[in-house]
């Protein structure tokens, strides 16, 4: 009896143990969060810095949706973040030595899997498209603000091609360009992601559209509605003799004065793109933007820069345009998420025909690398970039102070009876640096930099001799209101001392 009881207890314990073991095996332990696959990068460089990693699946907050991503698209923005270019952007946006944001991708389309309790406009199962950092992944969480119902007549990949490119084109034409029916619109870079949407949206507003692209894309640009096409390999659109009401510049390869030649005196130019892979990796399109700000008050034409703002209203307007057949995404190539490095490498060449899209399937294979060295051969390392980014402004601030002290000391040794002249020396050195800066700003090559630097250096020398005319000229040419005020107050008082012989 005792033996039977022992056997029974052992059997019950074993069964209990087996049951709990099986239950434990089936129920994930509370500490282990669900995982998903996502593209991650932790260093700046070529597409081979990208990794496919298992990371925590995001959990939506009360005002967010969890979306299973089915399609994504690549934008120039993605390779700018991946490479940390233009380098100036590392000071404010990308991260100085390492990427601040380690996830990539912004455009997505997919199915809503779950919604937070404050979400009112969407429900699980809805097919949506929108814009959210980290879109190259199986899941994203997003608020209702930057997504809309996917146009029913598009695949997930086609829908994912829309957000950044089409919203940019729409806002440039409607909000900045105020395009009207019958107006003449020129679109430079008509065959790319933004350009193909811009041509169709401008046509939907009733404009007469001229697209600028290479000959191999001329037929495609005509087929999406362009009335005229200029093949930039054969003809320079700035020499065409035509006048346009609106110029949309997606390329940024022509100067503002060249573009103004083809602009009606009351026309508008909207700068959208620039900073392609062959442009300055340090400043990108920044110089063009500064030039625009300088020129803007001096000319009759309107000039503005475009920064697209993602919102549900515009995504819904675009969905309507797409569903009524007025706009259709032009898809160049389709890659899988595993082929993302190749897709980004292709886009970076700058000759995509429409959009490059990504399928995010159920079985994601390991990444296919492109075997490029991280960072192109000509790219300086992150430490060198950071040193230049911090060192140059520091040198510009400190060097003139040091030089001013040295020159002032020499002056005092030679003329012990006269008062020092520190600000004057500081101003002279700063003027010389301004001269070099102005030469670079003019973008007319090294000769312009040397000539401007020399002119300012000569003026600064005469100024140091306390010649009044050099003081006036240099003060004006400093283009610096602070220098104007200081010189007006400080130097005028000191001028009575006369020139130094």
Select 75 or 475, whichever has its Cβ closest to ligand NAP.
75
**What would you measure as the largest C-alpha separation in the chain, in angstroms?**
126
Query: Which of 60, 76, 163, 225 touches ligand NAP by CB under 6 A?
Result: 76
* Residue 102 CA neighbour count, 13 Å, CB half: 11
Q: Which of 352, 364, 407, 470 binds ligand NAP (CB under 6 A)?
A: 352
- Residues 6+ positions from 227 with CB-CB distance below 8 Å: 208, 209, 210
Distance of closest approach, residue 81 Cβ to ligand NAP, in angstroms = 11
Contact positions with ligand NAP (CB under 6 A) in 158-187: 164-165, 168
- Listed in sequence order, the DSSP H helices in 279-421 are 286-295, 312-323, 340-348, 382-414
Q: Tell me if residue 362 falls in helix, strand or coil.
A: coil
Residues 87 and 386: their CA atoms lie apart, in Å, by: 9
Nearer to ligand NAP among residue 75 and residue 431 (C-beta):
75
Question: Taking the complex as a whole, how short is the minimal distance between the CB of residue 437 and ligand NAP, in angstroms?
Answer: 25
Please report whether residue 146 would count as binding ligand NAP according to CB under 6 A.
no
Of residues 94 and 456, the one with the C-beta less far from ligand NAP: 94
Q: Rounded to whole angstroms, how far apart are CA atoms 42 and 22?
A: 39
Residue closer to ligand NAP by CB (options 188, 431) is: 188
Phi first, then psi: give them for residue 135, nearest 5 degrees: -70, -20
CB-wise, 148 or 251, nearer to ligand NAP? 251
> Toward ligand NAP, which CB reaches closer, 183 or 188?
188
Q: d(Cα 197, Cα 318) in Å, to the nearest integer?
A: 10
247 is an interface residue for ligand NAP by CB under 6 A: no
Can you read off the two tokens belonging to residue 421?
Answer: 């002249």
Near ligand NAP by CB under 6 A: residue from 333, 351, 372, 412: 351
The CA-to-CA distance between both ends of the chain, in Å, stands at: 126
- Rounded to a whole number of angstroms, the minimum distance from the CB of residue 448 to ligand NAP is 23
Touching ligand NAP, residues 252-281 (CB under 6 A): 253, 272-275
| # of chain residues touching ligand NAP (CB under 6 A) | 33
Residue nearer to ligand NAP on the CB measure, 317 or 396:
317
- Asked if residues 310 and 304 have their Cβ atoms less than 8 Å apart, the reply is no
Rounded to a whole number of angstroms, the minimum distance from the CB of residue 192 to ligand NAP is 2
Query: For the purposes of burial, counting CB atoms within 10 Å of the CB of 162, is it exposed (0-12), middle (13-18) or buried (19 or more)?
Result: buried
**196 closest CA partner among 317, 331, 77:** 331
Cα–Cα separations (whole angstroms), residue 376 to 24, 42, 78, 277, 382 = 50, 16, 16, 11, 12
**Which of 251, 269, 287, 460 touches ligand NAP (CB under 6 A)?**
251
Q: Show contacts with ligand NAP in window 382-441 (CB under 6 A).
A: none
**Span interacting with ligand NAP, options 18-26, 351-359, 375-383, 448-456, rule CB under 6 A:** 351-359
CB of 305 to ligand NAP, least distance (A): 7
The answer to whether residues 213 and 229 touch, using CB atoms and an 8 Å cutoff, is yes
Smallest CA-to-CA distance from 105 within 73, 130, 129, 127 is with: 73
Decide whether 159 or 460 has the Cβ nearer to ligand NAP: 159
Cβ proximity to ligand NAP, 253 vs 301, nearer residue: 253
Part in contact with ligand NAP (CB under 6 A); list of ranges 75-83, 134-142, 312-320, 404-412: 75-83
Contact stretch for ligand NAP (CB under 6 A) within 3-11, 52-60, 106-114, 246-254? 246-254
Do 43 and 373 meet the contact criterion of CB atoms below 8 Å apart? no
Q: Select 107 or 138, whichever has its Cβ closest to ligand NAP.
A: 107
Q: x/- contact string, 184-213, with ligand NAP (CB under 6 A)? A: ----xx-xxxxx----------------xx
CB of 329 to ligand NAP, least distance (A): 12
| CB nearer ligand NAP, residue 130 or residue 192 | 192
- Does 377 bind ligand NAP (CB under 6 A)? Our answer is no
CB of 349 to ligand NAP, least distance (A): 8
- Give whichever of 168 and 183 is closer to ligand NAP, judged by the CB atom: 168
Nearest alpha-carbon partner for 494 in 395, 424, 391, 406: 424
Is residue 344 a contact residue for ligand NAP (CB under 6 A)? Answer: no
- Min dist CB 197 to ligand NAP, Å, is 9
> CB 361 → ligand NAP: shortest distance, Å?
24
Q: Are strands 147-149 and 355-359 parallel, antiparallel or unpaired?
A: unpaired
Instruction: Supply the minimum distance, in Å, between the C-beta of residue 252 and ligand NAP.
Output: 7
* Share of the chain residues as helix, strand and coil, in percent rounded to the nearest 5: 45, 20, 35
Of 161 and 478, which CB lies nearer to ligand NAP in the complex structure?
161
CA–CA gap between residue 184 and residue 90 (Å, rounded): 39
Site for ligand NAP in 301-340 (CB under 6 A): 306-308
CB-CB contact of 250 with 189 (8 Å): yes
Query: How far apart are alpha carbons 199 and 246 in whole angstroms?
Result: 12
Instruction: Tell me whether residue 405 is exposed, middle or buried, using C-beta atoms within 10 angstroms of its C-beta: 0 to 12, 13 to 18, 19 or more.
Output: middle
Buried residues in 422-437 as b, exposed as e (16+ CB within 10 A): ebbbbbbbbbbebbbb
CB atoms within 10 A of CB 115: 21
Residues that bind ligand NAP (CB under 6 A): 75-77, 164-165, 168, 188-189, 191-195, 212-214, 217, 232, 250-251, 253, 272-275, 306-308, 347, 350-353
């Amino acid at each position: 009896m005792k033996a039977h009881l022992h056997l029974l207890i052992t059997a019950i314990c074993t069964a209990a143990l087996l049951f709990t073991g099986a239950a434990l095996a089936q129920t994930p332990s509370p500490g282990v969060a669900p995982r998903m696959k996502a593209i991650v990068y932790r260093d700046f460089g070529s597409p081979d810095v990208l990794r496919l990693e298992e990371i925590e699946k995001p959990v939506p907050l009360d005002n967010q949706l969890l979306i299973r991503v089915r399609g994504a698209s690549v934008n120039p923005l993605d390779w700018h973040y991946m490479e940390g270019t233009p380098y100036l952007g590392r000071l404010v946006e990308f991260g100085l030595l390492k990427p601040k944001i380690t996830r990539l991708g912004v455009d997505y389309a997919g199915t809503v899997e779950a919604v937070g309790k404050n979400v009112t406009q969407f429900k699980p199962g809805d097919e949506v498209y929108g814009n959210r950092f980290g879109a190259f992944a199986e899941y994203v969480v997003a608020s209702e603000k930057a997504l809309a119902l996917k146009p029913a007549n598009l695949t997930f990949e086609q829908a994912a091609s829309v957000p950044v490119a089409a919203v940019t084109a729409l806002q440039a034409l409607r909000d900045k360009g105020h395009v009207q029916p019958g107006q003449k619109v020129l679109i430079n870079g008509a065959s790319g992601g933004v350009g193909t949407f811009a041509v169709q949206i401008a046509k939907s507003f009733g404009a007469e559209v001229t697209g600028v692209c290479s000959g191999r894309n001329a037929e495609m640009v005509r087929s999406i509605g362009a009335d005229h096409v200029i093949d930039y390999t054969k003809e320079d659109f700035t020499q065409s003799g035509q006048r346009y009401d609106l110029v949309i510049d997606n390329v940024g390869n022509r100067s503002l004065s060249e573009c103004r030649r083809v602009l009606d005196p009351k026309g508008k130019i909207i700068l959208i793109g620039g900073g392609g892979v062959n442009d300055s990796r340090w400043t990108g399109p920044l110089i063009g933007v500064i030039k625009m700000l300088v020129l803007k008050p001096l000319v009759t034409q309107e000039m503005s820069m475009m920064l697209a703002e993602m919102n549900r209203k515009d995504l819904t307007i675009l969905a309507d345009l797409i569903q009524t057949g007025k706009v259709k995404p032009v898809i160049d190539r389709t890659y899988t998420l595993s082929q993302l490095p190749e897709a980004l490498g292709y886009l970076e060449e700058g000759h995509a025909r429409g959009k490059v899209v990504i399928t995010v399937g159920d079985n994601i294979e390991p990444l296919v690398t492109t075997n490029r060295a991280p960072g192109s051969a000509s790219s300086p390392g992150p430490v060198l970039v950071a040193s230049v980014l911090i060192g140059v402004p520091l040198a510009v601030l400190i060097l003139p102070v040091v030089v001013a002290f040295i020159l002032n000391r020499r002056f005092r040794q030679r003329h012990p009876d006269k008062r020092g002249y520190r600000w004057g020396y500081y101003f002279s050195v700063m003027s010389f640096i301004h001269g070099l800066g102005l030469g670079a700003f003019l973008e007319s090559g090294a000769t312009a930099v040397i000539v401007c630097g020399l002119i300012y250096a000569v003026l600064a020398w005469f100024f140091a001799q306390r010649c009044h005319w050099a003081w006036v000229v240099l003060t004006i040419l400093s283009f610096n209101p602070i220098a104007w005020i200081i010189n007006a107050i400080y130097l005028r008082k000191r001028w009575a001392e006369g020139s130094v012989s």
